[in-house]
Structure 1
């Protein structure tokens, strides 16, 4: 069963039914038959565990619906889509002068650790950009259960920061591609510890808890009034996962990227940072591009493979951004650790939402 839609809509929320933003014309109403097919697929369990679908076109809500007990005020646990927000906070901190740039060296922010722990010179050179692109030399791979830095190993320790900073140097077996031979010169390995340490750097640089800085730099300026950030056992904000937002607020984050970091005339992210964030900086193992903790997914759009930039989290949680269409799409889902989670959320975009706009 799905919940009753927001009072501004029945099955479709279109600009024609809501107050328009000044100076913007109403987008075309999506095809009701295609959206009804989506809802039937969810009701019939062909698509499972989805809690919301929200489509924005040219800054206006074109479709919004909630399912499986969720509603407009539900705070969705978007898991690793949080990493993309952390990347945006790094950009905000560069813009407001708390961080000098993506080439800043990570270990410089933790002098107490370096004073008491020997650090390999190759790791000592680790930059924020290395963490943003998941291409540090830490032996850390969440997709390898044997990896020293696998996130599940971090979660059962008392001090996550020390765990991450003390990781050994990655070795490259003969069948592994070295950085110099990898696309963009970076050997990518998905590692939640990278995003967690970025959050720790932000706390050191801003002298604020990560949740407070997020509220100051992004959330309040965007009109986001409710969110939830997790913390590690030692009290450091968890920049790597578990953040919770309303669907409309996830859409605002997507809209900020669509607007190159500007919101209501103010630059929340510095010029050029968003372009770098959603540009190919590394190549993931599945063939996707990877920017600054944003995924460049290869999806079928208008009959051809297209790079769609997205926030992505366990369970099938997504914020898709397609600048050429002035489009942001949010899919939230509780299909955690299910193999169908990501394919079905991508299917919602490519088989239902995009065709509904033709």
Structure 2
């Protein structure tokens, strides 16, 4: 596998790769660290020599971690179920809750990014015209999300929306009485042995549920192994099994004809079912249940329309050909 990786690097098929770690059955298959220019939430870090202890932006992989936390909180009876109406849980905006076009919104529509509200994230993330950036700049991020113009009925179509995940983060924080980092540390990170992480916050001090998490690659891999083990770690159940099943049930089709569950992508690669968390720049967490395989990738191809090529090449051309 190492030879295949070296060949792919020399051939320029893995441009922007910062790190990859992979395990099968809990045993290491591959570990590689490179060097390259990096950023954290758009702030330049210069050229970084990556290693096992280097924290890296997870970007929108954070959304999938937020979904795990939502399932834990749901199991604890602290957040509303997917079928429950959404707006009653945002009582500071009664005018929006009274809008008939918005009363149909449920928590499930936020989980599946199918709110039916106007939301554009297909612009660079350094532009205030990008809806996620506009949300961060707004005086009230939740009002900004919920008052977006209604463009279609909810639940009809998947449309990428970091605002949907921000709403989930608010429900977790309100229900648990803890910030996302606090609840995440107590319920997920500490039990997994994840001691080094950052969860970046906006100007209002609210940790970003959509893109704020920074992890080292091996800890990202642990999260994938937790999903692979259906929520159990070292004999202890961390995430309810019924939530893992619900979270990974295909519900809507993405713009590229993949499938989407609750904040996780469901793809097919080389005839293998792949559960994936994805983030801007080429951040990936791949879980292949039929192969007992987990792969964590970090990369620096931020805002590149072809950013998907490097992690997919790692999976298709380097790792899977070596699996028997």
- Are the counterparts in 2 of residues 189 and 284 from structure 1 also a CA contact under 8 Å? yes
| Matching of residue 255 in structure 1 with residue 221 in structure 2 | no
Note the alpha carbon deviations across 1:251-294, whole angstroms, 9 max, x for none. 11101111111112222111211112112111111100001111
CA root-mean-square deviation:
2.1
- Cα pair distance change 1:61/1:310, threshold 3 Å: same
Q: CA deviation at 1:214?
A: 0.8
Instruction: Give SS of 2:81's match.
Output: coil
**Hey, what's the Cα distance between the residues in 1 that align with 2:14 and 2:98?**
48
* Equivalent of 1:109 in 72, 84, 89: 89
Instruction: Give SS of 2:315's match.
Output: helix
Q: CA deviation at 1:335?
A: 1.1
User: What's 1:225 paired with?
Assistant: 195
**Hey, what's the Cα distance between the residues in 2 that align with 1:143 and 1:312?**
15
- Structure 1 segments unaligned to the other structure (5+ residues): 1-33, 172-177, 180-184
**Hey, what's the Cα distance between the residues in 1 that align with 2:15 and 2:184?**
32
Q: CA deviation at 1:352?
A: 0.5
Instruction: Give SS of 1:124's match.
Output: coil
User: What's 2:46 paired with?
Assistant: none
User: What's 1:42 paired with?
Assistant: 9
Note the alpha carbon deviations across 1:174-217, whole angstroms, 9 max, x for none. xxxx77xxxxx631111110011111111111111111111111
* TM-score, with length taken from structure 1: 0.80
User: What's 2:78 paired with?
Assistant: 98
- Cα pair distance change 1:324/1:118, threshold 3 Å: closer
- Structure 2 segments unaligned to the other structure (5+ residues): 36-48
Q: CA deviation at 1:234?
A: 2.1
| Matching of residue 285 in structure 1 with residue 255 in structure 2 | yes
- Are the counterparts in 2 of residues 200 and 237 from structure 1 also a CA contact under 8 Å? no
- Cα pair distance change 1:149/1:247, threshold 3 Å: closer
* Equivalent of 1:199 in 166, 169, 194: 169
User: What's 2:274 paired with?
Assistant: 308
Q: CA deviation at 1:144?
A: 7.4
Q: CA deviation at 1:40?
A: 4.0
Instruction: Give SS of 1:272's match.
Output: helix
**Hey, what's the Cα distance between the residues in 2 that align with 1:109 and 1:39?**
52
- Are the counterparts in 2 of residues 289 and 297 from structure 1 also a CA contact under 8 Å? yes
* TM-score, with length taken from structure 2: 0.88
- Are the counterparts in 2 of residues 54 and 248 from structure 1 also a CA contact under 8 Å? yes
**Hey, what's the Cα distance between the residues in 1 that align with 2:281 and 2:29?**
24
User: What's 2:113 paired with?
Assistant: 134
Greater Rg by CA: 1
User: What's 1:6 paired with?
Assistant: none
**Hey, what's the Cα distance between the residues in 2 that align with 1:85 and 1:238?**
11
Number of equivalenced pairs: 307
248-257 vs 100-109, greater mean Cα deviation: 100-109
User: What's 2:239 paired with?
Assistant: 269
User: What's 2:140 paired with?
Assistant: 159
* Equivalent of 1:296 in 257, 260, 266: 266
- Cα pair distance change 1:212/1:43, threshold 3 Å: farther
Which structure is higher in strand share?
A: 2
Q: CA deviation at 1:149?
A: 8.1
